[in-house]
A and B are shown apart, each in its own frame.
Chain A
Amino acid sequence: KAGVTQTPRYLIKTRGQQVTLSCSPISGHRSVSWYQQTPGQGLQFLFEYFSETQRNKGNFPGRFSGRQFSNSRSEMNVSTLELGDSALYLCASSMGQLKDGQRYEQYFGPGTRLTVT
């Protein structure tokens, strides 16, 4: 099976612009979660989508948004970019169906390195 793919791998934007990142989960996985990784804050959860619905949300401003398509592919958008948004953005996929007692392995993509100048 192909792993989680993310595009683009690298991106340079200027302050005030907006950006869209894409994530294709492992085939058959319906949950996609997004994370931001920075040297100062570490790995922080942004949001999770399951069956095209946002199931969980982290503590990020409304400039960060996402969506999921019927084929489980997901995009995240950051509007009005700030210098502090420079980070490695990672997505993870899992089976994700809610069943009592079930935990799911989460697999991460290679990430998109966003630099805001």
Chain B
Amino acid sequence: SQELEQSPQSLIVQEGKNLTINCTSSKTLYGLYWYKQKYGEGLIFLMMLQKGGEEKSHEKITAKLDEKKQQSSLHITASQPSHAGIYLCGATHRRTGNTGKLIFGQGTTLQVKP
């Protein structure tokens, strides 16, 4: 099984709707990272979370970290076509600590219909 599970795998929403993507770790999280990727391109850094209960926002995107559940959620409010892409969560775990080794989920593909 995957160390980092994302759900859903894909999502199609109408423009203006809210949506949530979840990322669950099977190991103790040390840091949780959210990225966005356009197909075949590099990853765009969105947010990093490191403390239980932490919540960060950037424009219409909010990410939260639930340390007890070893889970993070990414919420997009009033989605726009520009939000379309692949959302990836990455994590560092206790064992590797604060080194540069990130384990990634399989990604969530988001389509926003105008």
Interface size for A (C-beta < 8 A) is 34
- Could you tell me the dominant secondary structure of chain A's interface residues? strand
Contacts A106-B45, A111-B42 given; indicate if A45 touches B98 (C-beta within 8 A). Answer: no
Residue A70 is within 8 A (CB to CB) of chain B in the complex: no
A113–B40 alpha-carbon span in the complex (Å): 8
A45–B107 alpha-carbon span in the complex (Å): 15
Contact A108 B96 (CB under 8 A): no
Which residues of A come within 8 Å of B, CB atoms? Answer: 4, 6, 31-33, 35, 42-45, 48, 50, 55-56, 58, 88, 90, 92, 94, 96, 98-99, 101-111, 113
B106: which A residues are within 8 A, CB to CB?
42
- Nearest Cβ in chain B — how far from A57, in angstroms? 9
Q: Which of these, A6, A99, A108, contacts B43 with CB under 8 Å?
A: A108
Partner-contacting stretch, out of B16-24, B29-37, B75-83: B29-37
Contacts A105-B45, A110-B41 given; indicate if A48 touches B99 (C-beta within 8 A). Answer: yes
Q: Which of these, A58, A88, A108, A111, contacts B101 with CB under 8 Å?
A: A58
B43: which A residues are within 8 A, CB to CB?
90, 92, 108
A33–B104 alpha-carbon span in the complex (Å): 13
